[in-house]
Amino acid sequence: MILMWLVVSASVIVALVSLGQARRTAKRLAQLSEMYWELKYQQGELRVRVQRLAGEVPAPEPSPPEQQTGGFIPLSSLKR
């Protein structure tokens, strides 16, 4: 009977240690993913700046405001 309790205790301890390791790994993965996308965005910005300085890409022109369709459309008018 004591052997069974020792095995159960060891299993619970291993499970708790594994859970802690999995949480730390998930947190680190989230940090690395965020860092990756931030660096990818910065690299894109720098590439555009270098191309602009080299004269390969003209400076962006402000785009005209998009035309918005009306606001509220009653549902009864759509049924007709």
Q: Would you call 24 exposed, middle or buried from its count of C-beta atoms within 10 A (0-12, 13-18, 19+)?
A: exposed
CA dihedral 44, 50, 52, 55 (to 10 degrees): -140
Q: How is the chain split into domains, by residue range?
A: 29-57
Give the span between the Cα atoms of 12 and 18, in whole angstroms: 10
What is the chain's pLDDT, residue by residue, as a tens digit (80 residues)? 899 999 999 999 999 999 999 999 999 999 999 999 999 999 999 999 999 998 876 666 766 666 666 677 777 777 65
* pTM, full prediction: 0.56
| 7 within 8 A of 15, measured Cβ to Cβ | no
